[in-house]
Amino acid sequence: MPRKLICCLGVVFLLVSFTTAGAVQSGEVMTTLDDQVGVAVTIYNQNLALVKDKRRLTLAKGEVKLAFREVSAQMRPETALLTADGLAVIEQNFEFDLLTPEALLKKYVGCQIEVISRHPTTGVESRKKAKVLSSNNGVVLQFDDHIETGVPGRLSFPELPDNLRDRPTLTMLLENAASGSKDIELSYLTGGLQWRADYVAELNATDDAINLSGWVTLTNTSGASYRDAQLQLVAGDVHQAPLKQDLAFGGRREVMMKTMAASAPSMAQEEMFEYHLYTLARPTTIADRQSKQVALLQASSVPCKKEFLLKGSSYYYRRAYGEIDRKLKIGVFVEIENRKKNHLGLPLPKGVVRVYKEDSKGALQFIGEDRIDHTPENETIRLKLGDAFDLTAGKKQTDFRKIAGDGRYNYIYEAAFEVKLKNAKPEEVEIKLVEPIPGDWEILTESHNHHKESSSAASWRIPVPAKGEATLSYRVRVKY
């Protein structure tokens, strides 16, 4: 039977309740989370998740219209697959147009409703029929002899439209081979579920070891909750086909498909295809509009190496510059080898590593952070934590001349440089200098031996005494 619904929109409508929020349509079997016997969620890095929702239902034999409620509002309906013995899916529709006063009024544009008003002095209620002409930025109603906007009072609707739901719902037309109770599983891909890795590292007093903790932060904005879910996370960049607007549906997400049913306290990790799969050992609830943190790893006394780095530029090898800079910043880096012998040796998902260290009173202080990419076993993690306060450098070009060349691409230059390093610390430090040198280059003279980092870079490691300074001088020939 049709149900009466009186809705509230500003001061115009009055809201009353109706059975199951008006979501059950005539002859429809509805399933909710009360029927759920298990749910598994696999979350990927790119705002993508696979949901496997298992429910136990009693269905009659023959054709059944099933409303699968409380699914993700960001479901990709073209990926939905229902699996159950003896069931065939004839068609399915994803109905995400949710029940609101505004949505209900829009559904009745061009249709007749009742306007209920109360006399200001007698209090007697009267009802008049009216046709909804428009619901854009307000309501426009046509009565028998006039048209009105902003009608005071209440609007009464005869029934709830079939395609208006109070919650996202996947409706399916099924062919059931035999009546009785059975388990069905709905699998689908969805947006709105994301995860990221966050790491906390505590550096020891001598800066040569850290304690590392890893956390997974889950964020659920999918419009659904997943109670006691078996949670798995996939680390890696899974390729997805580019989305194209389906002109046959005018770009709407509602689809109709035909398919046949198929038969069908830490995180452990395993290889899966070309990715890594992390599995939570216990079920967890992922509520809608919630962020949750789950422990990923714990590693103590992981050896690390601190490095001071001054990196140059290639532009001053092409012309005369003189003094380049009097006070260059020297970066502070920490390197960690992801190996079993270092108490690690785990595939580390990409994320942010935040580093802390105790001060003289034993209180932890934040000293820097950096982002890492997916890091397999036996690779090196390199973190930039900031710039050294007590270390400075000055660089100048002491000589520059053209040796040969008369065209754009056959020049030969010689350039000489002096780099003065200063150390205000009470202990000696070693500073690494890396110079990107263009063209075909050769170091002619140098005060310290260089190392050829690559075809386009040379490096020096210079010890600088406590409260003192050191100078690197070198001459280079560059051919273009």
Q: What is the mean pLDDT of residues 299-319?
A: 94
Contact residues for 254 (Cβ-Cβ < 8 A; gap 6+)? 77, 93, 94, 95, 96
Residue 110, domain member (yes or no): no
User: What integer pLDDT is reported at residue 324 of this predicted model?
Assistant: 87
CATH number of domain containing 391: 2.60.40
Confidence of residue 433 (pLDDT cuts 50, 70, 90): very high
User: What integer pLDDT is reported at residue 168 of this predicted model?
Assistant: 81
Residue 369, domain member (yes or no): no
Distance of alpha carbon 116 from alpha carbon 12, whole angstroms: 10
Neighbours of 442 (CB within 10 A): 11
Of 153, 165, 178, 161, which is closest to residue 64 (Cα–Cα)?
Answer: 178
> Percent of the chain at pLDDT above 90?
61
Contact residues for 372 (Cβ-Cβ < 8 A; gap 6+)? 199, 348, 350, 351, 352, 353, 381, 383
| Beta-strand relationship, 193-203 and 351-358 | parallel
Residues 167-181 pLDDT 10s: 788 999 999 999 999
The pLDDT mean for the chain works out to: 86
Question: In this model, does residue 243 exceed pLDDT 80?
Answer: no
Confidence of residue 24 (pLDDT cuts 50, 70, 90): very low
Residue 98, domain member (yes or no): no
User: What integer pLDDT is reported at residue 286 of this predicted model?
Assistant: 94
Q: How many angstroms separate the first and last alpha carbons of the chain? A: 87
| Beta-strand relationship, 305-311 and 323-337 | antiparallel
Q: Where is pLDDT greater, at 22 or 376?
A: 376
Residue 143, domain member (yes or no): no
- Specify which residues 109 forms β-bridges with: 132
Distance of alpha carbon 151 from alpha carbon 148, whole angstroms: 7
Q: What is the mean pLDDT of residues 373-398?
A: 95
User: What integer pLDDT is reported at residue 231 of this predicted model?
Assistant: 95
User: What integer pLDDT is reported at residue 160 of this predicted model?
Assistant: 78
Q: Domain total for the chain?
A: 1
Confidence of residue 123 (pLDDT cuts 50, 70, 90): confident
Confidence of residue 42 (pLDDT cuts 50, 70, 90): very high
Confidence of residue 446 (pLDDT cuts 50, 70, 90): very high
Residues 312-327 pLDDT 10s: 999 889 889 888 888 8
Residue 280, domain member (yes or no): no
Q: What is the mean pLDDT of residues 92-96?
A: 79
Tokens, residue 151:
């009608």
Q: What is the DSSP letter of 340?
A: G
Q: Token match 């109670």: residue?
A: 227
Question: In this model, does residue 424 exceed pLDDT 90?
Answer: yes
Domain that holds residue 314: 305-338+379-479
Q: Which pTM value belongs to this model? A: 0.71
Residue 256, domain member (yes or no): no
Distance of alpha carbon 194 from alpha carbon 196, whole angstroms: 7
Confidence of residue 252 (pLDDT cuts 50, 70, 90): very low
Question: In this model, does residue 268 exceed pLDDT 90?
Answer: no
Residue 456, domain member (yes or no): yes
DSSP 3-state assignment of 27?
A: coil
DSSP-derived secondary structure for 154-169: EEEESS--TT-BSS-E
Question: In this model, does residue 389 exceed pLDDT 50?
Answer: yes
Residue 422, domain member (yes or no): yes
Of 236, 225, 302, which is closest to residue 269 (Cα–Cα)?
Answer: 236
